[in-house]
Amino acid sequence: MRNLLNFLTRYNNLIIFLFLEGIAFYLLTTGNNYHNSRLLNSVRGMTRGIEARIYNTTSYLSLHEINENLAAENVALKNSIGKLVRKENSLFSTVNDSVNKQQYLHTSAEVIENSINRQKNFFTINKGESQGIKVDMAVISASGVAGVIVGCSKNYSVAMSLLNLDFKLSARIKSNGYFGSLSWDGRDYRYAILSEIPQHVIVNVGDTIETTGYSAIFPEGVIVGTVSDYEKFGGDFYKISILLMTDFKKLHFVDVIGNMKKTEQLELEKLFK
C-alpha cells in the first residue's frame, strides 16, 4: 500500500497526462466516426449559434454574386421545364403513376459552415430530420457533386464533403461510359483523382466526368468535373486528375437529393451478396 502511494505521488503527473490523453484519444476515435455522430451533434449544437451569426455576416457580403448564380440557375431550370412540358404533351397515354414516377426528391438548403483546409472536411447545412433529410442522401451544388449527408439533428445536417480522404464516389467518363472510383487526395481543393480506368480507354483532357448512379446515393449523370491531366499509374490503370466543377470555397446553396427507391435497390442487391 505504501509502495503504491509512493508510486502514485512520484508519477502523478504522468498518470494525469496519460488519463487526459486517454480521454482525448477516446473522443478522437469515437467522435470521428460520423455515422453515429451523436457526440458531434451535441458538440456542434453549442457552437452553432456563433457559426450561424458569422455566416449571416459573410453571406450578406456575397449577396450580389449569389443572386447572379440563382438567376442563371432559374434560366436553366425554365429551359428544362419547357422541354419537359413539350415531351409530356406528345405522349399518348395519360397514366397517372404516383408511385413510380418520381425517383429522386430534391430539397434545397444553405451551407452554414464549411471548410476546405483540412484533410477530412465536412460542411453543415440548415436543414435536418424535420425537413426530411436523412443520412446517406446526396448533396449537390448548382454546378456539381458536393458531398454526402452523414449526420442529422432536428434542423441541421452535417455532410461529408467531397474534399475528404474518406469520400468515395463511383464516376464515369461521359463520352465512353468507362467508370472508376473518384476520391480526393488531400492536396488541392480544386482537384480530385479518378482511378481504376484501364489504360486501353482513350482519355482526353477536357472530357466530362459524371456520376454513375451505381451506389444508389447519387442520381445518374450529375456532373463532377472535367479531366485536367492524366498519367499511367501502376500496371494497368490511369490516374486521372479531375478539375472539380463545384467551387468548394464558395459553397452557399446546395440541393439534397434523396433516392426514394434506394431501399428497394439495396434489398434486392443484398440477396445476391
Give contact residues for another protein (rule: CB under 8 A).
Answer: 12-13, 16-17, 20-21, 23-32, 39-40, 43-44, 46-47, 50, 54, 113, 115-120, 122, 158, 165, 186-189, 249
Q: Which helix (H) or strand (E) holds 49?
A: helix 38-61
Closest CB 140 distance from another protein, rounded Å:
22
Closest CB 189 distance from another protein, rounded Å:
6
CB atoms near residue 188 (< 10 Å): 13
Nearer to another protein, 184 or 230 (CB): 184
Closest CB 215 distance from another protein, rounded Å:
24
Closest CB 171 distance from another protein, rounded Å:
22
Nearer to another protein, 41 or 259 (CB): 41
Give Cα separations from 125 to 18, 75, 79, 101 (angstroms).
Answer: 37, 25, 28, 28
Cell of 66: 449569389
Question: 154: buried, middle or exposed (CB in 10 Å: 19+, 13-18, 0-12)?
Answer: exposed
User: Do the strands 169-173 and 157-164 form a parallel or antiparallel pair, or are they unpaired?
Assistant: unpaired
Nearer to another protein, 45 or 198 (CB): 45
Exposure letters 103-136 (e unless 16+ CB within 10 A, then b): ebeebebebbbbeeeeebbbbbbbbbeebebebe
Closest CB 35 distance from another protein, rounded Å:
14
Nearer to another protein, 186 or 219 (CB): 186
User: Do the strands 223-233 and 237-244 form a parallel or antiparallel pair, or are they unpaired?
Assistant: antiparallel
Q: Which letter does DSSP use for residue 34 in this model?
A: G
Nearer to another protein, 50 or 91 (CB): 50
Nearer to another protein, 149 or 203 (CB): 149
Closest CB 249 distance from another protein, rounded Å:
7
